[in-house]
């Protein structure tokens, strides 16, 4: 990424964004990427469309859906979250469809990291939303831990891969997933 042309800035309307530091000439190359660092196709989602019922917010004279949580849960700080990861135990319920998608996303990122095709340092620069996300959706922690436990167990079949499925790596990926995946577009170049 050309940081002479762009800088990362917090916004009031949606996390962080890239903003020009100067006028950018037409057709200037700002960033090139042969593929995303990690990917998975979740349900089709847009900010103005409910991710569960796909109802359009504009039909209700809104520009986004407000999601409310039923409670604050027991995790209230980064220290609580760290302790929860250290003390959680495996739940043997089958994974949901979304949890399996999360496993695929994690696997793609872990493979990319250790195959050397992507830059982990660039990925880690994405906004870390772990605590904010868990505070807003306390029930998600159990799901994230189940996904980690499943991936860790599944990775035993490939000993080379198993060594790379660590709590720290999984948490780093999950912390960046929720705030950095939507509204990314591919610009097709050529005919």
Q: Cα separations (Å) of 104 from 36, 38, 41, 131, 181? A: 14, 9, 9, 22, 14
Residue 21 lies in a domain: yes
Q: Is the pLDDT of residue 183 over 50?
A: no
User: CB under 8 Å, gap of 24 or more: what pairs does 2-9 form?
Assistant: 2/29, 2/30, 2/31, 5/30, 6/30, 6/31, 8/125
Question: How many structural domains does the chain have?
Answer: 2
Q: Is the pLDDT of residue 166 over 90?
A: yes
In the chain, the N- to C-terminal Cα span, in Å, equals: 25
State residue 83's pLDDT score: 81
Q: What percent of the chain has pLDDT over 70?
A: 63
Pairing of strands 6-10, 16-20: antiparallel
Residue 53 lies in a domain: no
Cα gap 2→176, rounded to integer Å: 21
Residue 145 lies in a domain: yes
Mark whether 89 and 168 lie in a shared domain.
Answer: yes
- Residues 53-96 have pLDDT tens digits of 444 444 444 444 444 433 335 777 888 888 877 777 665 678 88
State residue 169's pLDDT score: 94
Dig out the tokens for 82 from the structure.
């760290």
- Residues 22-56 have pLDDT tens digits of 888 888 877 776 666 666 655 554 444 444 444 44
Mark whether 83 and 7 lie in a shared domain.
Answer: no
Mark whether 77 and 19 lie in a shared domain.
Answer: no
Mark whether 17 and 92 lie in a shared domain.
Answer: no
Least confident of 30-34, 98-102, 109-113, 151-155: 30-34
Mark whether 123 and 170 lie in a shared domain.
Answer: yes
State residue 186's pLDDT score: 41
Mark whether 146 and 76 lie in a shared domain.
Answer: yes
Residue 57 lies in a domain: no
Paired strand residues for 40: none
Residue 41 lies in a domain: no
State residue 171's pLDDT score: 93
Q: Is-contact 145 85, C-beta < 8 A?
A: yes
Q: Is the pLDDT of residue 187 over 70?
A: no
Cα gap 109→172, rounded to integer Å: 10
Q: Is-contact 145 88, C-beta < 8 A?
A: yes
Mark whether 27 and 81 lie in a shared domain.
Answer: no
Residues whose CB is less than 8 angstroms from the CB of residue 6 and which lie 6 or more positions away in sequence, other chains included: 18, 19, 20, 21, 30, 31
For the entire predicted model, the pTM comes to 0.59
State residue 173's pLDDT score: 92
Mark whether 159 and 80 lie in a shared domain.
Answer: yes
Residue 47 lies in a domain: no
Least confident of 4-8, 43-47, 145-149: 43-47
Q: Which among 71, 51, 62, 150 is positioned nearest to 106, based on CA atoms? A: 150
Domain that holds residue 10: 1-32
Residue 121 lies in a domain: yes
């Amino acid at each position: 990424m050309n940081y002479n042309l762009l800088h990362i800035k917090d916004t009031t309307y949606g996390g962080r964004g890239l903003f020009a530091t100067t006028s950018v000439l037409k057709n200037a190359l700002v960033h090139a990427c042969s593929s995303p660092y990690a990917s998975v196709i979740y349900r089709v989602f847009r900010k103005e469309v409910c991710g569960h019922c796909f109802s359009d917010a504009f039909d209700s004279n809104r520009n986004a859906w407000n999601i409310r949580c039923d409670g604050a849960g027991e995790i209230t700080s980064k220290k609580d979250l760290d302790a929860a990861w250290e003390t959680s135990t495996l739940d043997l319920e089958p994974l949901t469809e979304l949890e399996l998608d999360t496993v695929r996303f994690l696997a793609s990122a872990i493979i990319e990291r250790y195959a050397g095709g992507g830059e982990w340092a660039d990925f880690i620069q994405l906004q870390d939303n772990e605590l904010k996300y868990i505070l807003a959706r306390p029930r998600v922690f159990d799901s994230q831990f189940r996904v980690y436990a499943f991936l860790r167990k599944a990775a035993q079949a490939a000993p080379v891969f198993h060594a790379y499925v660590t709590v720290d790596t999984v948490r780093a990926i999950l912390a960046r997933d929720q705030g950095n995946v939507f509204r990314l577009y591919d610009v097709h170049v050529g005919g």
